Amino acid sequence: MSKKNKQARFAENRVLPNVFQPTREEAVAGYKLKGKWREQVFKNTNPIVLELGCGKGEYSVGLAKAFPEKNFIGVDIKGARFWFGAKEAYESNLTNAVFLRTQIELIDGFFEENEVDEIWITFPDPQIKYRRTKHRMTHPEFLERYKKILKKDGIMHLKTDSEFLHGYTIGLLQGQGLEILTAHHDIYGAPEYEPNTPLLRDIQTHYEQLFSAKGKTITYIKFKIH
Ligand SMILES: C[S@@+](CC[C@H](N)C(=O)[O-])C[C@H]1O[C@@H](n2cnc3c(N)ncnc32)[C@H](O)[C@@H]1O
């Protein structure tokens, strides 16, 4: 991505009505929309679904089109990436998909307890090196953050090409006695297998396409954290 393109996307993000780019201080203090996303942004009482590390936001936009009765928020620190999703949502007049630029580490500064119904984590960096353990998106410290905002019967989804992260997460959930609703090591490899998650195979993110082209298998876990 050229520097010029990036600047143009940053500029457009500043005026797109479906993009929120708070400062770190606003997050730490408790963002003004904390507890108010339904009322003030979506103007309905529908469930809220987050896509963490959304990149271009394929799940946020794809699911928002398929499920107008749910609200979707794509979260990523890289605005030039989610610009694609924000632009598509805006041009498609999707009122149930917005994007939030922030560090996932600060996520509980943006949502109230029980405000979120579902969380998707799509193709996060597996952070294989031992010294990067705490940066894994399913590390216990991240699960604790999600737990603060996800309602009690809320659902988590992890879709990844990383057998390492898949195994790490299953081990961790089992170790903590958390409920694994579905776990599959190759979602396209078993035609008879239907994990009962709408659009699991039908939406392919940018990174999924890159990894699939390299012959990686795609894994999926659906789980609870309360
Ligand atoms: C490997 S990419 C996957 C993007 C997208 N989900 C996909 O499947 O194409 C990981 C994304 O997570 C974002 N990310 C990584 N760590 C993050 C953090 N701590 N806070 C916010 N975003 C983060 C990156 O900016 C990047 O867009």
Residue nearest to atom 14 of ligand 1 (CA): 53
Instruction: Write down the mean pLDDT value for the chain.
Output: 96
Share of the chain above pLDDT 70, in %: 98
In the sheet with 19-20, reading across from the earlier edge strand, the strands are 19-20, 97-101, 71-76, 48-52, 116-122, 150-160, 219-223, 180-184
Residue 105 DSSP one-character state: G
Per the structure, how many domains does the chain have? Answer: 1
Mutate to test the pocket of ligand 1, among 56, 76, 81 (most ligand atoms within 8 A of CB): 76
Is there an atom of ligand 1 within 6 Å of 81 CB?
Answer: yes
CATH number of the domain where residue 67 is located: 3.40.50.150
Using a 10 angstrom Cβ sphere, with 0-12 exposed, 13-18 middle and 19 or more buried, the burial of residue 214 is: exposed
127 vs 193: which has the higher pLDDT:
127
Clarify whether 125 is annotated catalytic.
yes
Is there an atom of ligand 1 within 6 Å of 51 CB?
Answer: no
Task: Round to whole Å and give the CA distance between 205 and 81.
Answer: 12
- Residue-wise pLDDT for 44-84, tens only, equals 999 999 999 999 999 999 999 999 999 999 999 999 999 99
Is there an atom of ligand 1 within 6 Å of 62 CB?
Answer: no
Residue 179 DSSP one-character state: P
**pTM of the entire predicted model:** 0.97
Between the alpha carbon of residue 224 and those of residues 15, 157, 202, the distances in Å are 37, 9, 23
* Full domain range(s) for residue 171: 3-223
Share of the chain above pLDDT 90, in %: 94
Beta bridge partners of 157: 120, 222
Is there an atom of ligand 1 within 6 Å of 161 CB?
Answer: no
